[in-house]
Amino acid sequence: MSEDKLLELLTTPLIEHLKQSKDDTDALRRALIHCVLLLDAKATEGDREFIDFLLGQFAPLASAFRDNKHGYFPPFEVLRTPPQEGHRTLALPVQRLKAWLQQG
């Protein structure tokens, strides 16, 4: 299963999780992270520049990463990578997410 397909399958449960969230700020962070993940594989240079800003300088999102980790979708964390080829990105625990989705 590709990471794109995995993200598609994760979208519906994430939407349900966001609907139930009592913390709007946290829900917006999680939604932004999901948007970054969805966009990353197809990102243009302009997209990458904006992703770099969101992950590194946009305080409402960037400051929420602790040790470059964020509790993206419980029980999973997303990792903010150091700049690669000049750009930051996010990494998911793909194998754990696959196993979790297959159980549900």
Domain boundaries, the chain: 3-103
pLDDT reading at 101 higher than 80? no
Rounded distance between C-alpha atoms, residue 56 and residue 62, angstroms: 5
> Residue 18's pLDDT band (boundaries 50, 70, 90)?
very high
Q: Give the mean model confidence (pLDDT) for residues 44-53.
A: 94
The answer, as to whether pTM is greater than 0.75, is yes
DSSP string, 43-104: --HHHHHHHHHHHHT-HHHHTT-BTTEEEEETTEEEEEPPPBTTB--EE--HHHHHHHHHH-
- Per residue in 76-96, pLDDT (tens digit) is 899 999 888 889 999 988 888
Taking Cα atoms as reference points, which of 13, 17, 14 lies closest to residue 35?
Answer: 14
